Structure 1
Amino acid sequence: MSTRKSRTWRMPAETETQARTWLAWPAQWYPPDADPDEARAAWAAVANAILHHGGQPVTILVTKDEEKQAKIRVPDATLVVIQHDDGWVRDSGPTFVVDATGQRLGAVDWVFNAWGAQPWTRWAWDARVATAIANQVQAEILPSELVTEGGDIHTDGQGTFLVTETVKLDPFRNLGWTRERVEEAFERVFGECKLIWLSRGLTADYGPYGTRGHIDLVATFAGPGRVLVHSQESSDHPDHEVSERVVKLLSDSTDAQGEPLTVTRVPAPKQVRDESGEWLDWSYINHVVCNQAIIACNFGDDHDERANDILRDAYQRDVFPIDARPLFARGGGAHCITQQQPRLPWPAPGSKEQET
Structure 2
Amino acid sequence: MNPKELSYTMPPEWAKHSGTFISWPVRDSMVYPEDYEQVCLGYENIIRAIAEFEPVTVVVNPEDEGPVRSRLAGVQAECLAIPHNDAWLRDNGPTFLLDKAGHLGAVNWGFNAWGGKYEPWDLDDAVAPAIIAHTGARRFDAPIVMEGGSIHTDGEGTMITTEECLLNPNRNPDLTREQIEEELKRHAGIEKIIWLKRGLSGDETDGHVDNIACFAAPGKVILQVSDEPGDENTAITRENLAILAAAADAKGRPLEVIPIKQPPYREYNGKRLTLSYLNFYFANGGIILPVFGEDAAETDRLAEETLARVFPDRRIRTVDGMAIIKEGGNVHCTTQQTPAPQ
Q: What is the TM-score normalised by the length of structure 1?
A: 0.90
Contact 2:273–2:328 (CA<8 Å) still a contact in 1?
A: no
> What residue is the counterpart of 2:225 in the other structure?
231
Amino acid at match of 1:297: P
1:285 shift after superposition: 0.4
> What residue is the counterpart of 1:291 in the other structure?
284
> What residue is the counterpart of 1:251 in the other structure?
245
1:30 shift after superposition: 1.8
Give matches, 1:119-134, under 5 Å.
Answer: 120-134=118-132
1:333 aligns with 2:330: yes
Contact 1:288–1:294 (CA<8 Å) still a contact in 2?
A: yes
CA deviations over 1:78-130 (Å, ceiling 9, x no partner): 101111111100001000000122x2100011100110111x33211110111
Whole-Å separation in 2 of the counterparts to 1:295 and 1:174: 32
1:192 shift after superposition: 5.1
1:328 shift after superposition: 1.3
1:162 shift after superposition: 0.7
> What residue is the counterpart of 1:100 in the other structure?
100
1:324 aligns with 2:321: yes
1:147 aligns with 2:145: yes
Whole-Å separation in 1 of the counterparts to 2:6 and 2:215: 20
1:35 aligns with 2:35: yes
> What residue is the counterpart of 1:222 in the other structure?
216
1:163 aligns with 2:161: yes
SS in 1 for 2:323: helix
SS in 1 for 2:34: coil
> What residue is the counterpart of 1:353 in the other structure?
none
CA deviations over 1:165-218 (Å, ceiling 9, x no partner): 12211111100322210111022224451011111211110xxxx111100001
Which range moved further: 140-149 or 230-239?
Answer: 230-239
Which range moved further: 278-287 or 123-132?
Answer: 278-287
Contact 1:22–1:89 (CA<8 Å) still a contact in 2?
A: yes
Q: What is the TM-score normalised by the length of structure 2?
A: 0.93
> What residue is the counterpart of 1:352 in the other structure?
none
Stretches of structure 2 lacking an aligned partner (at least 5 in a row): none
Give matches, 1:1-356, under 5 Å.
Answer: 8-28=7-27, 29-52=29-52, 55-75=53-73, 76=75, 77-101=77-101, 103-118=102-117, 120-191=118-189, 193-205=191-203, 210-269=204-263, 271-276=264-269, 278-300=271-293, 301-302=296-297, 303-316=299-312, 317-344=314-341
Stretches of structure 1 lacking an aligned partner (at least 5 in a row): 346-356
Contact 1:164–1:200 (CA<8 Å) still a contact in 2?
A: yes
Contact 1:237–1:279 (CA<8 Å) still a contact in 2?
A: no
Whole-Å separation in 2 of the counterparts to 1:72 and 1:237: 44
Cα 1:69–1:232, aligned 2, differ >3 Å: closer, same or farther? farther
Identity over the aligned pairs, expressed in percent? 36
1:73 shift after superposition: 2.5
> What residue is the counterpart of 1:349 in the other structure?
none
Whole-Å separation in 1 of the counterparts to 2:216 and 2:323: 26
SS in 2 for 1:125: helix
Cα 1:32–1:176, aligned 2, differ >3 Å: closer, same or farther? same
